[in-house]
Amino acid sequence: MAYTTLQQLIDRYGEAMLIGLTDRDDVSTGAVDPETIDQAIASAGAQIDGYVGSRYALPMAEVPPLIAKLARAITCWELHVYAAPDKITEDYKEAVATLKDISRGAVVLDIAGTQPEGNGSSGIQITDRKRPLEASKMGGLI
């Protein structure tokens, strides 16, 4: 599922930056390459699904703003073929940390009814064995 769009990326990072990252042909076209953007968006979506899918049913009916923000950060980092600038790398690392928090349940997305159903158990149950030394078995020793 695409969690961000080309227009959202242009709004966030600017068209000039995206042209610089995607116009990779021998002869420059001076335009954003939508195929390269789509590949990066798909890669970011797969990474997000890997984390979010453990906690929420996929595909989501609507994209929460937090997920769209994370998708933009991951997509921008994916577009950098070589070393990304520090800010882009920092944003990527923060996005992955947030995704880990979502998968652990520390961050909850505001999506009604999308958490996967449980398996019916209410948690861990423990049955302890009988005690070998009880007062009734100790006779006159106590």
Angle made by CA atoms 23, 66, 88, in degrees to the nearest 5: 40
Identify the residue whose tokens are 């999308």: 114
- Under a CB-based contact definition with an 8 Å cutoff, are residues 79 and 89 in contact? no
Q: Which pLDDT score is estimated for 69? A: 98
Q: State yes or no: pLDDT of 70 exceeds 90.
A: yes
Q: Where are the domains of the chain?
A: 6-109
In the structure, what pLDDT confidence band is assigned to residue 25 with cuts at 50, 70 and 90?
Answer: confident
Tens of pLDDT, residue by residue over 79-107, are 999 999 999 999 999 999 999 999 998 99
Tens of pLDDT, residue by residue over 73-82, are 999 999 999 9
Write down the pTM of the prediction.
0.78
**In terms of Cα–Cα distance, which of 44, 53, 51, 42 is closest to 114?**
53
